[in-house]
Structures are given as C-alpha cells and as structure tokens.
Amino acid sequence: MYGGGYIFDESASTELDDAKKLEAFEARIEAGEKIEPSDWMPAEYRKQLIRMIEQHAHSEIIGALPEGTWITRAPGFKRKLALMAKVQDEVGHAQLLYSAAETLGKSREDMINDLISGKSKYSNVFNYPAETWADTAVIAWLIDAGAIINQVANSKGSYGPYCRALERICTEESFHLKYGHDSVVFLATGTPVQRAMVQDALTRWWKPIMHFFGPSDKISVHNTIMMKWKLKMASNDDMRQKFLDMYVPKIWDLGLNIPDPELRKDEATGKWHYTEPDWEEFKRVINGDGPCNRERLAVRKMAEEKGEWVRRALMKQDERYITPLA
Ligand code: FAQ
C-alpha cells in the first residue's frame, strides 16, 4: 500500500511507437535534451529505465543492511553517529529513486513486491557479509567511490527525473566517500591488528567490487541500447577502468595489497590490465545464490510486513486532510 504513481498503458504506447516519433525522440537525446515523464518515449526506453532505476533503488535499501548491522557495534560515539547518518542517507536515496521510477508508471508496491519475490535484481555487492568493522570502512570508501563514478556519469543522461535524483544523491555520496576514506586511513595507519583487519576486508571485497560495474562489455546484455539512449553514459568496462585509475594508486599509497597479481597499468594504452572477474560467480550472486541473498530478502520482507500498519496509518492521515470537513 503506497501513495502516488499512475498505471501506464503499455498497449497504447506500442501503437505510438512509430518511426517518426522514434526519430524525433532520438534527435532530442542526441542534442542533449532531457526526456520528461509526460513526453513520448519508446516502450523499450521506458522498460529499460524502470529496470535500471528500480534495481538502483533496491540496491540503496538493501545496501543499508550490511553497514546497518554495525551501527550498534561502531567503535565510539562519533563513528556511530556518522554511520547512522550514512545508512539513513542510503534509505533516503532509495526514496528518491523509487519516486523517479514511479514517474514511468510502475507502482512502488509492485517494485517492492518484485524485490521481495526475487524477480528484481539489486547490486551484487550487498550479498556479501560485513564481517568486521573494517568492512564498513571499505564499503563506504570503495563501493561509494564506484557508485559515484557511475552516478556522476549517468546524471548527465537523458531521463530528467533520474538525472535530478542522481545529482542530489551524488552530493550526499561524496560525504560518504570522505567518511569511508577517513575510516580506511585510520585503520591502515593504526596498530598492526587494525592494519591486518583492513587488509583482510579489502582482500575479501576486491572481487565483488570488480563485479560491481557489471559484466565485461563483451558479455553485457544491455550496454548498446543503454548507451545509445544515454541511460548509461559509459560502458561497464570504461567505468571499471575509471575506478581503477582513480583508486588503485590511493590504495597502494596506503601500503595495502590488492589481491590480483595481474593488476598493472599498461602505460602505452593507459588501460589497466587485471584478472578477468569470474562472471559465472557474478551471475550466481545476482540471481539469488550469493552468501547473503536469502538473509537480505528475509530482512526486507520482515520490514515490509512490520511496517504495513505505519503505511496504512499515514494513508489514513492523508485522507483526513483531503476529505472536506462536513
Ligand atoms: N549487480 O547488460 P548489463 C550503491 C545485471 S548503488 C547486480 O551490463 P546494464 C550505493 C543487469 O541488471 C549501486 N546486477 O546491464 C550504496 C542485467 O540483468 P537483467 C547500484 C547487475 O543495466 C553504496 C545483467 O546483469 N547502482 O552502491 C550488476 O546495462 C554503499 C547484465 O548486465 C546502480 O544500480 C551488479 N553490479 O548495466 C548503497 C546504478 N551489473 O536486468 C549502500 C544504475 C549488472 O537483464 C552502501 N545502474 N547487473 O536481469 C547501472 O548503471 C547499470 O544498470 C549497471 C548494469 C552498470 C549496474
């Protein structure tokens, strides 16, 4: 039970999907114009956008869980406050993104149901456990870094409501990145035990982080159409390269070891060379068979069921304001 959103009539749009409209639509995108919810758009554009924004929104609420488990165990009051604020921000990002996806005609209730039933995906990284405090530091630094690279690029994309949501999200993510960097530096320059803890976290998180940018361009399913319509502003491999370029030197500067013997920059091409990530494992994890998928969805389902009365109460309150007084 959620408010807002309208039901989009798929058949009506298919009829309108003619060549002239498509040509004009693509010309607008080419010229850098934003597409708005009331504008004509091809059914496939709408479908791809809903898929991408919905998955992004789910990633934010599920992404709050691994770090959220550390709020009660944060070392010290300042760290606890900072982590609480970060987790709260991530949930707020989900609200912005669900609202952007609703403009395309899918109701929030349907999106949440598709998440809980396993029909909709969310980011691979949140299916791994945050075993120690250092995991929260690595998540806040490097996963937020990856998210910022993706989101800053895509905020220049073609769909107005998504781009505007991304701009707001990136502003907050930049604080998360600073907080994460500070936490990693603190541990990496701390006692031998703290150093070992952050090295261990980095070693475990490197593989999911390499997967985070999506399958290599050779096997990506949607890259071509997503980039043509400026839903994605760079390919998965280009985003991965950008991340390596920006963060590998910073990680090495801290004296931390990246668990990939192949990792090096080819100075001639300017590209990073790395061990090809295991895409079979990636597929298993995003399709429900990672270390924490079941636990994450069970928590989400419980929150949904336990929060039902709150949503009902809020809807009732809304009604009180819109019903004219007798
Ligand atoms: N995880 O053909 P492609 C965050 C799926 S926000 C899971 O290359 P596409 C904030 C993909 O959906 C993180 N699934 O797909 C935070 C497709 O499956 P489908 C989320 C993935 O769309 C930080 C299939 O693989 N960010 O972290 C992943 O062209 C810290 C084939 O892939 C976004 O969602 C993956 N990593 O490119 C919160 C950004 N990668 O749908 C808390 C928006 C791919 O056919 C703490 N999304 N898949 O069944 C995008 O930019 C794109 O959708 C990509 C994938 C780049 C993720």
DSSP for 177-228 reads HHHHHHHHHHHHTS-HHHHHHHHHHHHHHHHHHHHHT-S-TTT-SSHHHHHH
| pLDDT, mean of residues 216-239 | 97
Inform me whether the pLDDT recorded for 320 exceeds 90.
no
Inform me whether the pLDDT recorded for 321 exceeds 70.
no
Q: How far is CA 45 from the centre of its chain?
A: 19
- 271 phi/psi in degrees, rounded to 5: -100, 150
Strands 271-273 and 264-266: antiparallel
Q: What rounded mean pLDDT belongs to the chain?
A: 93
Q: What is the pLDDT of residue 315?
A: 84
- The region that residue 296 occupies, defined by phi over 0 for left and psi between -120 and 50 for alpha, beta otherwise, is alpha
Distance CA 207, CA 128 (A): 11
Q: What is the pLDDT of residue 5?
A: 41
Q: What is the pLDDT of residue 2?
A: 46
| pLDDT, mean of residues 209-216 | 98
Inform me whether the pLDDT recorded for 244 exceeds 90.
yes
> Would residue 108 count as lying in a domain?
yes
Q: What is the pLDDT of residue 130?
A: 98
> Would residue 129 count as lying in a domain?
yes
Which residue among 45, 51, 52 has the greatest number of ligand 1 atoms within 8 angstroms of its CB, and so is best to mutate?
52
* pLDDT (tens digit per residue) in 262-313: 999 999 999 999 999 999 999 999 999 999 999 999 999 999 999 999 988 9
> Would residue 194 count as lying in a domain?
yes
Distance CA 44, CA 26 (A): 13
- Number of structural domains (the chain) is 1
Q: What is the pLDDT of residue 316?
A: 81
| pLDDT, mean of residues 186-200 | 98
> Would residue 20 count as lying in a domain?
no
The closest-lying atom of ligand 1 relative to the alpha carbon of residue 232 is 51
Q: What is the pLDDT of residue 30?
A: 97
Among protein residues, the one with the nearest Cα to ligand 1's atom 33 is 56
Which residues have CB under 6 Å of ligand 1? Answer: 51-52, 55-56, 59-60, 63, 90, 121, 123-124, 139, 143-144, 147, 150, 154, 211-212, 214-215, 220-223, 226, 232, 236, 286
CB atoms within 10 A of CB 310: 9
CA angle 5, 7, 9 (to 5 degrees): 145
Q: Using CB atoms within 10 A of its CB, is residue 32 exposed (0-12), middle (13-18) or buried (19+)?
A: exposed
Inform me whether the pLDDT recorded for 15 exceeds 70.
no
- Look up the CATH number of the domain holding residue 159: 1.20.1260.10
> Would residue 190 count as lying in a domain?
yes
| pLDDT, mean of residues 5-26 | 68
Question: Domain of 175?
Answer: 39-321
Q: What percent of the chain has pLDDT over 70?
A: 92
> Would residue 91 count as lying in a domain?
yes
CA of 166 to the centre of ligand 1 (A): 15
> Would residue 14 count as lying in a domain?
no
| pLDDT, mean of residues 72-95 | 97
* pLDDT (tens digit per residue) in 58-72: 999 999 999 999 999
Q: What is the pLDDT of residue 323?
A: 59
pLDDT band at 4 (very low <50, low <70, confident <90, very high): very low
Distance CA 125, CA 142 (A): 11
The closest-lying atom of ligand 1 relative to the alpha carbon of residue 63 is 42
Distance CA 199, CA 188 (A): 8
Q: What is the pLDDT of residue 6?
A: 41
DSSP for 133-176 reads HHHHHHIIIIIHHHHHHHHHHHTTSSBHHHHHHHHHHHHHHHHH
Q: Nearest CA to 195 among 254, 129, 128?
A: 254
CA of 236 to the centre of ligand 1 (A): 9
